[in-house]
């Protein structure tokens, strides 16, 4: 487990995550995430869940694809430094229907990722 501490707009959030990805500006994953959230020019965070189908023909949806985006004032998505990507569990279909949570990090925000010994192994400022 990793301890992830974020300080965004003066709010500190500390949580434990089994895994975390940091998609930096210029990476393919960063560009793909901007495409996914293209309906918002100023995303703060987003949750995405994939569609899950009952049948191989994909005609009977058990879980529709879902994308929820929360906006943040005074920022643009293209100004994000990295995007933090975490696993986001499906309440209805744990494991099979899990998605991602995307946290956009902008100038002035801080992120610290610590290992199980409490040592900081990654920092974004």
**Alpha carbon of residue 39 to chain centroid:** 16
Is pTM beyond 0.75? Reply is yes
State the pLDDT at residue 63: 87
φ, ψ for residue 63 (rounded to 5)?
-140, 120
- pLDDT per residue, tens digit, the chain (125 aa), is 999 999 998 999 999 999 999 999 999 999 999 999 999 999 999 999 998 898 888 899 888 899 999 999 999 999 999 999 998 888 877 777 789 999 999 999 999 999 999 999 999 98
Domain-wise residue ranges, the chain: 20-106
Task: In whole angstroms, give the CA distance from residue 82 to residue 21.
Answer: 10
Could you tell me the two tokens for 64? 């529709």
């Amino acid at each position: 487990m990793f301890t992830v501490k974020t300080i965004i707009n003066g709010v500190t959030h500390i949580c434990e995550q089994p895994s975390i990805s940091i998609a930096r500006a210029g990476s393919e994953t960063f560009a793909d995430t901007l495409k996914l959230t293209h309906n918002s020019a100023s995303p703060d965070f987003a949750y995405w869940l994939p569609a899950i189908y009952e049948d191989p023909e994909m005609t009977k949806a058990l879980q529709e694809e879902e994308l929820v985006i929360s906006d943040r004032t005074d920022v643009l998505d293209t100004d994000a430094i990295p995007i933090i990507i975490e696993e986001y569990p499906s309440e209805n279909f744990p494991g099979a229907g899990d998605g991602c949570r995307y946290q956009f990090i902008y100038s002035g925000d801080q992120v610290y990722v610590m290992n199980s010994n409490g040592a900081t192994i990654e920092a974004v400022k």
